[in-house]
Amino acid sequence: MPVAVRQKSFESTLRSAKTSLVFRETMHLALDSFRASKVRFLLTMLGMIIGSASIVLVVTVGMTGRQYALDTLSSIGPNMVEMQYNGGATVGADGASTPDYMTKEDEAAVLAQVPGIAQSSPMLEVHAPISIGEGKTRDVMLLGVSPRYKDVRNLGVLSGRFFDDQDTIAHEKVGMIVEPLAKTLFGSDDAAVGRVLNLSGIPITIVGVFKQRVDTFGQSEISDDTVLLPYPVARYMTGTDTVKEIFFTMKDPADVPRGAARILDLIQSRHRKGSKYTAFTMVAILDTMKKVADSLTYVLTAAAFITLVVSGVGIMNSMLANVTARYREIGIRKALGATRHEIRLQFLTEAVFLSLSGGVVGTLLGLALPVTVNLLTPVHIPMSGLSAVVALLTSVLVGVIFGTLPANRAAALDPVEMLKYE
């Protein structure tokens, strides 16, 4: 091997060994400094612990909120398109205005001309009083729907059964009663099945009790006083075949926006000009809930980052005080041959070690909550590994940024002056 090559290899090995020695010495000094001032460093780390844990928990809360929104809308029916009549009455020759409601023929036309529809149900609404004992009456809302309404609205049957196509064809006077009304009238779900309600002089036999799978907080057509009837029976009670709402479900959730637009165009084309209809879908609500969850996550994450910045200021103050307290040590090290770079690296390493230690503890605490909940309860809380990585990287960055000033100050000290300090 040529002499020049061997010399180069020797110099490279020497540099590597020196770098390794400097690194080990720097880490040893950082640990010694930590052991010498445990209480001060632990208090300084507290801000980093809180900030790092906050980042992980904020992201976890945001992900949990998003998942809850998805689960809620999935339970209501993510594929659903709800057509509503919103007004736009036409004035006739006699000066009277007539609402331009939708009809069963509109539903049939949509099913025939719009592809990708899985199921549909009209909804006819009428109110009627019922007796609740001791001469008291209560107004209930009757909804005339088809048997497909159960699947379209993803309803749960608690007792009995849902009326079927045979009931609808035969115009059977049967109905479904919502859970709160069943408990109010009969005390329990099972006690309601088989009982008869007198609605506008028509005896309706209750064949089942139902509920919505998720609480819609009063934002759906179903209330605590709802009774579902086969559409022909409700139509007989009202004397009209017009409907205010028609529900559709698409086979593919991706087709919902396009399908809703086509349904709206078709129904508007079948009615008078000026009549107003709306195609309501869960897509818009889902997008809004996602945006709200994301915005809340961003705001809370920014607050967590502010905590880290404040903690970084605390680290900088602590390190500046540490430099002042170790003037003589710095002077001795420089007198023994330590370079400015080595002194700077020593104090920068201490700052990063301090911030990263707080970041690791905070991140572990932030992850401990969702892990504990997932292990000990049936509730599933999503976790983000990315949030843990971001918290740790931010901790390192805070240590570098706020440790640079104390490190530069220590490196710039004059060893002759420093040796005078006791």
66-115 residue pLDDT tens:
777 666 666 666 688 889 888 776 555 555 567 888 988 999 999 999 99
10: confidence class by pLDDT, cuts 50, 70, 90: very low
Phi, psi (rounded to 5 degrees) for 144: -85, 115
Within 8 A by CB and 6+ apart from 301, the residues are 55, 58, 59
Which class for 139: exposed (0-12), middle (13-18), buried (19 or more C-beta within 10 A)?
exposed
Amino acid (one-letter) located at 303: A
> What does the domain layout of the chain look like in residue ranges?
26-71+288-418, 101-270
Mean of pLDDT values over 195-209: 88
pLDDT of 19 > 90? The answer is no
Closest C-alpha to 13, from 115, 5, 277, 213: 5
CA distance 119 to 43: 63
Q: How many residues does the chain have?
A: 422
Sequence-distant contacts of 26-33: CB under 8 A, at least 24 apart:
26/342, 26/345, 26/346, 26/349, 27/349, 27/353, 29/346, 29/350, 30/346, 30/349, 30/350, 30/353, 31/353, 33/322, 33/326, 33/350
Mean of pLDDT values over 394-398: 85
Within 8 A by CB and 6+ apart from 18, the residues are none
pLDDT of 249 > 70? The answer is yes
Phi, psi (rounded to 5 degrees) for 123: -140, 120
pLDDT of 156 > 90? The answer is no
pLDDT of 39 > 80? The answer is no
Least confident of 92-101, 124-133, 259-268, 346-355: 92-101
Q: Please give the residue that has the higher pLDDT: either 318 or 194.
A: 194
The tokens describing 85, both together, are 């009549």
CA distance 388 to 371: 13
CA distance 149 to 162: 10
Matching residue, tokens 């399908």: 259
pLDDT of 12 > 80? The answer is no
Least confident of 164-168, 191-195, 247-251, 371-375: 371-375
**Do the strands 276-281 and 80-87 form a parallel or antiparallel pair, or are they unpaired?**
antiparallel
pLDDT of 40 > 90? The answer is no
Instruction: Quickly count: other Cβ atoms within 10 Å of residue 359's Cβ.
Output: 30
pLDDT at res. 46: 81
Beta strands (DSSP E) in 26-146 are 80-87, 90-91, 97-98, 102-103, 117-133, 136-145
Mean of pLDDT values over 371-385: 81
25: confidence class by pLDDT, cuts 50, 70, 90: low
Within 8 A by CB and 6+ apart from 341, the residues are 411
Instruction: Quickly count: other Cβ atoms within 10 Å of residue 248's Cβ.
Output: 27
121: confidence class by pLDDT, cuts 50, 70, 90: very high
pLDDT of 217 > 50? The answer is no
Mean pLDDT score of the chain, rounded to an integer?
79
pLDDT of 52 > 80? The answer is yes
The tokens describing 129, both together, are 């009083």
419: confidence class by pLDDT, cuts 50, 70, 90: low
pLDDT of 376 > 80? The answer is yes
Buried b (16+ CB within 10 A) or exposed e, 313-325: ebbbebbeebbee
pLDDT at res. 32: 64
pLDDT at res. 210: 93
